[in-house]
Chain A
Amino acid sequence: MRQAIGLLAAGLILAMLPLVGLPAFYESFLYLVFHWVALATSWSLLSGYAGYFSFGHGAFFGAGMYTVATLTAGLGAPFLAALPVAAVVATLLSLGIGAVVFRVKRLRGELFGLLTLAITFVLATIVLNTRLDGGPGVYLSNVPLPRLVASPTGTFYLLALGLAVLTLAAAYTITSSRLGLGLFAIHDDEDVAEVEGVPTFAYKLVAFALSAGIAGVAGGIHAMYVSYLTVPDTFSITVPLYVVLMSVLGGARHWLGPAVGAALITASLYAFTGGQQAILGRAVVAFVLILIVLLLPEGLVPAVLRRARGQRGRAADVAVAPILAAAGARTEAPATLDCRDVWRAFGGIQALRGVSLSVAPGEIVALVGPNGSGKTTLINVISGHHAADRGRVELGAATLTGRPAHEIAGLGVSRTYQIPRPFAHFSALDNVALAATFGSARCAPAEARAEARAWLEFTGLGRRAAALPHELNLHERKFLELARALAGRPRVILLDEVLSGLNPGEIASAVHLIRQIRERGVAILFVEHLMRAVLELSDRVVVLNEGEVIAAGGPREAMRAARVIEVYLGKAHVA
């Protein structure tokens, strides 16, 4: 909140600047600074927060430039009327790209970068070879510039300032909202984010659209500023490269980071413009940039904040300790999980062949079977990570099959991973809070944190709330998985080998924990190799082999069935 007011106040004070009567150069210089602040910050909305590294910001910027050029110089539209159109064109472009690309799971990381780069080339080629430009460039000298203040530079300054403030406000709002939390989770592990209830497709699309729309407006204003557009200048490597560099320098995951990077790099362009030291000056600036990044690799803003927090932080930590496990008192209405004739193949391998099973509220069902028998696949199908080829999964009255994973999570299905997959840049507390925010609990942010604390206490991780996942040991990470699964207030919880790798003491406490969960009326399906725990915990056992249920029933009967022994020990042992 304090930051939001600060931003607004800074914006208002800066807006007064043209009235002071500074030489036009300063307005012009600050115009460029805010122009880059808007561009770099908008880039980070998708690429910094969600980690979808775009090399195509120039495409949206260029789309905005040429939209304004075509509408004003070509069709005689007024500049200010053309600006919103620039935003719309760039947004539509990004939505079109996103609607296709975000459905393809592999198009992450460098492939997404490549794709956006290729789109920039294609767009540039189209503009270059059609009436939009055709080669000679577009000159906007006859387009009247609206007079917000007396001087044209002042007008540009105010336009860019306005855009930068709006962009920063958007960035700030996003980073402290569900959207931001979801985007950060996508950055760390998109599949897990979806399973925890984050609507990843929609979130990426919103972030992409916003990012592109802002770039479009920035391009639209810049078209008037340079007043002569050519394709090589517009679609050059400068925009996509510089927004990345600025974000890296300032810190791409903080709302203010890219802005600080943008201000520094833009200012550095002017540091050595004197004719005699131009060449050497560039080298000096580059050297300073290298030094900053080597010494503060996480970016300037996060580094400064960490240092500032380092002094205050410890005192705050102590106050965390005793919190009552108030949360968890309320659970959703219990429901039965039903799998009916579920089939799933991967390429030529049939992983599930008509699996049927059900888990009632308060029941613990163990899913056992040799490696590759389809246990984890079944969990993936129930949680919506994989679609079933055939068959239905139901939870109470709701059908789960066919729904995206985040909706299934919202209906009350939680899972853990055999190898824990916490969000690497989230503290233990935030990991759990995310599940409370997006799972069926749907908590508001503050409530989610309280809830998360309660679940950390419940799993015995209360004192590790501030730790990052890589600082936790295996046992703690497994329990973090549990806490995260519980925080969604699930009706069904799917546990994938929570006990493996734990020592006997830890196993005992985990078993105790699972029993407590059952007492809340949660249906529990757990995959386990550890027979002692299976026998001790489960009400029923379902045995899978090669994707088929070969036995089911009470723990001891099921394990004694002839086919089970055959599968586990080979034929000879069947007496």
Chain B
Amino acid sequence: MVRGALVALILVTFAATALAAPAGPPIRIGGTLALTGPLAPTALLHKIAGEIYVDELNKGNGLLGRPVEWGLLDDQSKPDLTRSLYEKLITVDKVDLLMGPYATSGILAAMGVAQRYQKVFPHHSFGMPHLAKYEMHFPTAAFGPEPNRTVPTTVFDALAATSNPPKTVAIVTSKFSSAQFQSSGAKEVAEKRGLKVVLYLEYEFGNRDWGALAARVKDANPDFLWIGVLGLDGNQMLEAMKKLDYTPPRHFHLFPAPGPLALAPDAKNALSVTVFEEHPPFMSNAGAAKLVPLFRERATKANVPYPYVETQVAGSWAAWQCLEAAVTATKSLDDKVLAQWLKKNRVDTIIGKLRFDGPNNYGDDLFRVKQVQDGKWVVVWPREFAAPGARLLPP
């Protein structure tokens, strides 16, 4: 039944494509991504998402009937280069609209430029909401204004609703700015809720010796382990603990590389947070039915090992959706007009309804709790977003 509807939808989309092709001078959207350097693993996903979006726009009616061109530059994971490249996009290439780069440092570097030239600045991967003061930035990493409070609260709520909620917590976090920010918040939230924080450790970003950290966690033997990780640190941590013949009963990973974690043998029942997974009810969000199969196809072709849509890709896609929605609704490319519209309206995106009228242009915290079950991520909390029949599996 659902599949039938999907096919119909796709057919309609194709039909629409055939009817109207965009014409006129292209609308140029400029942005950078860390295509090389240490941030490249995740930036690659943003590149694929953006390419799909622009291709789809051009297959349809473009923007305002004009074709869209994405001027994508490589900022090489360097904030200083990012800054100057946004200056290039604005002052030399004179692009019509901007799209943000990947990750907090780069976004802050570019936001300053956008502010100076008063450009609308949507972005998709910013982790420190309290630092974003520019009135025309529009974040789609939908943490809400205080993720250090709200994200841990969601996670501890989920745990509290299980049959045997944890009483002791260990928090181990990388000193990577956004991870540390939320992890130190998790400590406060846990303590406020009467949980005992038996271990709180911060390690240097780029750490390679996991044995000592694992031994300390084993020594503390918590009911619940919060790992403030980036990328694959969580896998390494789990493996290191397994080597000590220890598996924490419950473990949470803040910003994991989703694929490798889901597939790791030690990651059974691992928890994380997400704004999108490829199952209901998320699949009925705006654009989900279109993006999921296209992303699978493109990502597989690009040799990406985990070709599924989740937080990063969906956040990226949502940023494009906001830009398109504002342009289409206002029929304008004027930054002030677009910003005004985005501030006043809710945008229906793949990660849900976004609003930008809260503190620092942040809206609701849309992050949900997900868990690895049978080698796949499924959302388990809050209940209304859980995959059909899924619930948080206790240890």
Contact = CB atoms under 8 A, between A and B. Distances in A.
Asked whether the complex places CB atoms of A and B closer than 8 A, the reply is: yes
Interface of A: 23-26, 28-29, 31-32, 125, 128, 135-137, 139, 141, 152-153, 222, 225-228, 230-233, 238, 269, 272-276, 278-279, 281-282
B72 A275 contact: yes
B7 to A, nearest CB: 33
Interface in B1-59: 32-33, 35-36, 47
A128 B204 contact: yes
Contacts of B202: 135
Contacts of B71: 275
Contact of B112 (A128, A227, A272): A227
B328 interface: no
Given A273-B32, A275-B72, 4 more contacts: A25-B84, A137-B128, A226-B83, A278-B36
Most buried by A among B75, B79, B206: B79
B111 to A, nearest CB: 9
B157 interface: no
B79 A233 contact: yes
A235 to B, nearest CB: 11
A131 to B, nearest CB: 14
B285 interface: no
Contacts of B78: 238
Interface string B90-101: 111000000000
Interface stretch (B175-183, B236-244, B372-380): B175-183
28 contacts: A23-B87, A23-B88, A23-B92, A24-B90, A28-B88, A29-B84, A32-B80, A32-B84, A125-B204, A128-B204, A135-B176, A135-B177, A136-B128, A139-B108, A152-B116, A226-B109, A228-B105, A228-B131, A230-B105, A231-B175, A269-B76, A273-B75, A273-B81, A274-B72, A274-B73, A275-B71, A278-B74, A282-B36
A275 B108 contact: no
B109 A273 contact: no
B80 A225 contact: yes
Contacts of B75: 273
Contacts of A281: 74
Interface of B: 32-33, 35-36, 47, 70-76, 78-81, 83-85, 87-88, 90-92, 104-105, 108-109, 112, 116, 128, 131, 133, 175-177, 180-181, 202, 204-206
A181 B80 CA distance: 37
A335 B70 CA distance: 83
Given A25-B84, A28-B84, A32-B84, A226 B74 contact: no
A214 B87 CA distance: 27
Contacts of A282: 36
Nearest to B108: A228
A137 B92 CA distance: 31
**Binding site of A, secondary structure by majority: helix, strand, loop or mixed?**
helix
Contacts of B92: 23, 25-26
B88 A25 contact: yes
List 8 A-B pairs, minimum CB-CB distance, nearest first: A275-B72, A278-B74, A23-B91, A25-B88, A28-B84, A228-B108, A278-B35, A135-B175
A225 B177 contact: no
Most buried by B among A25, A31, A276, A279: A25
B36 A136 contact: no
B36 A228 contact: no
Contacts of A23: 87-88, 91-92
A275 B47 contact: yes
Nearest to B70: A275
Contact of B177 (A31, A136, A153): A136
A145 to B, nearest CB: 10
Contacts of B70: 275
A233 B202 CA distance: 18
B49 to A, nearest CB: 13
B109 A228 contact: yes
A225 B83 contact: yes
